[in-house]
Structure 1
Amino acid sequence: MTAETYDYIVTGAGSAGCVLAARLTESGRYKVLLLEAGGKDNKFWIHVPMGYAKTFVDPKVNWKFESEPEQELNNRTMYQPRGKVLGGTSSINGMIYMRGNAADYDQWRQLGNEGWDYDSVLPYFRKAEDNERGADEFHGSGGPLRVSNQPYEWEIAKALLEACQQAGIPYNPDFNGAKQEGCGYYQTTTKDKRRWSTAAAYLRMAKGRPNLTIRTNAHATRVLFDGRKATGVEFRTPKGLETAHAGREVIVSGGAYGSPQLLQLSGVGPAQHLTEMGIDIVHDMPGVGSNLQDHFNTYCTYRISKNLSLNALQYSLSHRLVAGAQYVFLRSGPMSGNGLYVGALVRSDKRLERPDLQFNISAWSTIDRTADGIISHPFPGISISPVHLAPEGRGTVRLRANDPFAPPEIKFNFLRSEGDMRVMIAGVRIARSIARQHALQRLMMGETAPGVAVHSDEDIAADVRQRGVSNLHPVGTCGMGQGPMAVVDPRLRVHGIAGLRVVDASIMPVIVAGNTNAPTIMIAEKASDMIQDDARAAA
């Protein structure tokens, strides 16, 4: 087939790619091709907030990656659901709107990344946002991304929030406002009680533009180069292998796993590894696929006496039928929310300057969450999940083979340091403190995990190694900065390569203290401005 030429080619229609496609085509000046390996976002469960449990394991919209065995976790692998659909992981995630701590971005700037301090990125958070609470110093109104309050004041959520305050955690009305520390209700990326992914927020308004071409089921297999200049992309479709040329830039936006994988397949990465894979080296970059970071968490689960949890949606047919009817006909009931109503940001050690633990407090309790499915307890239950926000461990993403369709090799190196384990032990003890409070005692029937037999630090550490999991916030594998391990500069241009950028969560030099979807959208908003500024400067 004759290869077409575009100004920009974006590989990956995920949380960042959809933003880029929409923003780069707004003026009508640039012709953009957006490639997505998955299909359209037209499956019913994508758009239902509680449909998360379905998309979590659906191979039609989910890459269903698995990590390598983790040495410090009894050689267990970590399941890694990643979106394979328009909207990417924003179409299958838990929809929590959390930006991280202001100090995270100031740290990026201190590492040499000019223009990424909090004052510089805040306008892009506000630009993206259409917050239900309206605009203020910290929030935007009228942007593409709808950010909503919890749809109802659930009885169990109110009790959980009261318990947090009774445990000494102050109430915080806005985790994304003047301060992060405290407990409060989560806001979500939903609109009219439906998921509001970046495909819904950005692509719907852009897809009719004549200068935007969206290709689904189009798997990018290689970036094409003329020497050290990116010139296009090779991609596989159901019709076969195709190529497209980029007159200005190729923008890699495949996420923390997909972006380093595509760069390595294209000859940009650690030279020794590429040689082992039989790939011709375009540019030796040891940082491509290094610096992998993720939050780590475990679960404290409790059986409760009243049927206030969401477990019944799995074990009771009648509850499913009622909840389904409520949602379909009235857009109400438990399926209209995400089940993660309340959170808390705390410091594991009062000497710390900012929170290093996030507690996701859920109206369900599970026995297991794997690639085979989410298995709830067959009785009402809740979960209090401590998440370590500042892990010391660093991992890698490498190729398994010279094959774009083979899943990448993912190694986290969780809990290699005493400090990481110390924070997790503190997190379990704080979770138990919340559960002991008066607001919950009228409901409590007992701790189902770790269980009362797990009491000493040694017992808790052993349980964390056996049950702890990735919190599904991978970042950092194409890190921004200077020096031999940096992949992109502060304008997200790949060092040493012309016409090539990376725009997604992989560019984070250090993981933010909170959920990573909102920061990824911010990165893309800022990148779109930088890309167009650079195009005007070059004209």
Structure 2
Amino acid sequence: MSETFDYIIVGAGSAGCVLANRLSRDEGARVLLLEAGGRDMHPLISIPVGAAPMLRGRMFQWGDSSEPDPTLMGRSQWVPHGRVLGGTSSINFFAATRGHAADYDRWAEAGAHGWDHKSLSPFLKEIEHWCGPADPRRGSDGEVGIVESASCDPIMPAWFDAVAGQGGALNSDYNANEQEGFGWLQFSIRDGRRSSSARAFLRPAMRRPNLTVRTGAHATRIIVEKERAKGIEYLQSGKSRRAEAAVRLILCLGAINTPHLLLLSGIGPADHLGGMGVPVIADLPVGLGLQDHLAVETGWTRNDHSALHASLRIDRLGVNMLRAGMLRSGPGTRLPGVLVGFERTDPALRQPDIEYLLNLAPPHADRWWPGRPYKDGYGIRVQLMSQRSTGRVSLRSTDPMDRPRIEYHSLADPRDLAALREGLRRAIALGNAPELAPFRGEQILPAPINTDDELDDFIRQTAAQQYHPASTCRMGTGEGTVVDPDLNVHGLDRLGIVDTSVMPHLISGHPNLPTMAMAAKAAAHWLGDKATYDNGDRR
């Protein structure tokens, strides 16, 4: 059996929920949203401090791992991305960054016309509900709540003094000012709850009679006839189903699953598809150019205890979780204060190429019993923002239930290693700054090292990708691109993509907010073009 809708959106993640909201505003449009995962009803999804146990328990994820990375001593990378309404926005750690203006200007310069910073910034503002001081550069009427991190931890003044002592600039609002400098990290939280795309955009729209949402619906193949995407086949409750799109089929599955579905459907590199026995519908560089943010961790023990440490004592933790769940108050409704910094390792660079996350808690922070506390600490995550090394997503088999091959070549370009080494060297100096001496215990990660070779070895042994895959279906007009600047797949009518896979290069920040803004911009464009279909081509 087959049904017909005007728009079919495959994937209810950061982009898919925004599109479902915006496109269903047209009361005459029938919209279907398909999601392979389930509903986002678990309390750990909505309560901010639930992010850590969800990640540790690998909950609501696809459970992917990469192939062994030859540039990281053959280590495989864990690749968590969301399998639930809201996608990765329902399981991430809330970091809210718009990225640097140069990111988007570089997109346009590379052929993604209409995606420069001036064109996208109105949508970054449109979706935002800024909970800080009024600022004309910040949005106040949007759906996604944005709050500033904060902490009363006594170490915080010393952190700011240490940044200044190392020559770092302070930045009161990196999303409104120029990105460079250090300040409080901002989180996508509103009224004590995770402000995921599902909570912010989808839930209000689900009351509309023209929007149909189906969970547990695993897309298996795009139906293409005469160079036109006609619909989608999917499995639900063990049965094969089919839906047809009269106006547009839109893939919002992310930088791993979008290329996987395209390849299964015969859309991708002809040599790879031929080798897998898949008939070629369109020879396009699908799955190539995979980027992510590679990072290393530094860490020190601490002579005192943070506020978070006290709140994680088992009896207090239970009370705090009840307060968060029932009253939307208390430490469970916010994450520990985090400072973020963006710097250039070379003054000649156009934009920052390193992000620092100054964490007030060690990675092993967890609930503890009276008399058996964990050893407290602090650390700095050093994250590469200018990656030049790329990987690939490809088919492992033609069975749509098999997961794809994910290949990172994280340090294939020596410039990436050099930039990360310099960022690591600066982070170690910052963590060892004299201003932090009253709080600092022992440097444990890495053990004290100095030479380039020692730093490089530490990076290769410990660096990990940061769950920001992108650029596997790049947008543009030239060779190496999969979609045009209107987000239509080259050579195929009525097939669009909106997710991180279309980014010409990964932005220098966390991609959740930009992905939502891209979806809002795409919906505005497509609704503006609706008259084209109403004049005889819409069935």
Q: TM-score range by the shorter chain?
A: over 0.9
TM-score scaled to structure 1, two decimals? 0.94
How far apart are residue 114 of structure 1 and its match?
Answer: 1.4
Distance in 2 (alpha carbons) for counterparts of 1:312 and 1:155: 13
Q: How does 1:10-409 map to 2 (within 5 A)?
A: 10-133=9-132, 136-150=135-149, 152-285=151-284, 287-308=285-306, 310=308, 316-318=313-315, 320-328=317-325, 331-339=328-336, 341-366=338-363, 378-409=374-405
Bigger shift: residues 268-277 or 360-369: 360-369
**Residues 7-28 of structure 1: CA distance to partner in whole angstroms, max 9, x if unpaired?**
0100000000000000000121
Distance in 1 (alpha carbons) for counterparts of 2:318 and 2:365: 24
Tell me if the contact between 1:310 and 1:364 (Cα under 8 Å) persists in the aligned partners: yes
Q: Aligned to 1:327, what secondary structure does the other structure show?
A: helix
- Tell me which amino acid in the other structure corresponds to 1:527: A
Partner of 1:416: 412
Tell me if the contact between 1:269 and 1:288 (Cα under 8 Å) persists in the aligned partners: yes
Cα separation, partners in 2 of 1:167 and 1:319, compared to 1, 3 Å: farther
* Counterpart check, 1:529 vs 2:524: yes
How far apart are residue 158 of structure 1 and its match?
Answer: 4.3
Cα separation, partners in 2 of 1:426 and 1:117, compared to 1, 3 Å: same
Tell me if the contact between 1:312 and 1:379 (Cα under 8 Å) persists in the aligned partners: no
Distance in 2 (alpha carbons) for counterparts of 1:411 and 1:309: 40
- Tell me which amino acid in the other structure corresponds to 1:533: G
**Residues 273-306 of structure 1: CA distance to partner in whole angstroms, max 9, x if unpaired?**
1122222211111x10011111110000111111
**Residues 436-455 of structure 1: CA distance to partner in whole angstroms, max 9, x if unpaired?**
22432111001111111x22
Distance in 1 (alpha carbons) for counterparts of 2:186 and 2:498: 25
Bigger shift: residues 18-27 or 346-355: 346-355
Distance in 1 (alpha carbons) for counterparts of 2:225 and 2:463: 46
Q: How does 1:363-512 map to 2 (within 5 A)?
A: 363-366=360-363, 378-452=374-448, 454-512=449-507
Identical columns (%) = 36
Q: Aligned to 2:14, what secondary structure does the other structure show?
A: coil
**Residues 452-488 of structure 1: CA distance to partner in whole angstroms, max 9, x if unpaired?**
1x22111111011001100111110010012231100
- Tell me which amino acid in the other structure corresponds to 1:217: G
Tell me if the contact between 2:228 and 2:493 (Cα under 8 Å) persists in the aligned partners: yes
Report how many residues are paired: 528
- Tell me which amino acid in the other structure corresponds to 2:362: S
**Residues 362-401 of structure 1: CA distance to partner in whole angstroms, max 9, x if unpaired?**
12222699xxxxxxx9310112011110011011101111
Distance in 1 (alpha carbons) for counterparts of 2:52 and 2:329: 18
Distance in 1 (alpha carbons) for counterparts of 2:410 and 2:308: 30
Tell me if the contact between 1:309 and 1:380 (Cα under 8 Å) persists in the aligned partners: no
Distance in 1 (alpha carbons) for counterparts of 2:121 and 2:340: 22
Distance in 1 (alpha carbons) for counterparts of 2:530 and 2:350: 40
Tell me if the contact between 2:365 and 2:376 (Cα under 8 Å) persists in the aligned partners: no
How far apart are residue 237 of structure 1 and its match?
Answer: 0.6
**Residues 210-260 of structure 1: CA distance to partner in whole angstroms, max 9, x if unpaired?**
000000000111111112100000010114110001001110110000100
Tell me if the contact between 1:96 and 1:515 (Cα under 8 Å) persists in the aligned partners: yes
Q: Aligned to 1:16, what secondary structure does the other structure show?
A: helix
- Tell me which amino acid in the other structure corresponds to 1:282: I
Unaligned ranges ≥5, structure 2: 367-372
**Residues 483-522 of structure 1: CA distance to partner in whole angstroms, max 9, x if unpaired?**
2311000000000000100001110001111111111111
* Counterpart check, 1:514 vs 2:509: yes
Distance in 1 (alpha carbons) for counterparts of 2:201 and 2:507: 24
Tell me if the contact between 1:311 and 1:365 (Cα under 8 Å) persists in the aligned partners: no
Tell me if the contact between 1:183 and 1:342 (Cα under 8 Å) persists in the aligned partners: yes
TM-score scaled to structure 2, two decimals? 0.94
Distance in 1 (alpha carbons) for counterparts of 2:195 and 2:442: 36
Distance in 1 (alpha carbons) for counterparts of 2:337 and 2:490: 40
Q: Aligned to 1:434, what secondary structure does the other structure show?
A: helix
RMSD: 1.9
Distance in 2 (alpha carbons) for counterparts of 1:312 and 1:52: 19
Cα separation, partners in 2 of 1:207 and 1:529, compared to 1, 3 Å: same
How far apart are residue 135 of structure 1 and its match?
Answer: 5.5
**Residues 111-162 of structure 1: CA distance to partner in whole angstroms, max 9, x if unpaired?**
1221111111111101111111366442211111111122654444444333
Bigger shift: residues 55-64 or 188-197: 55-64
Tell me if the contact between 1:476 and 1:510 (Cα under 8 Å) persists in the aligned partners: yes
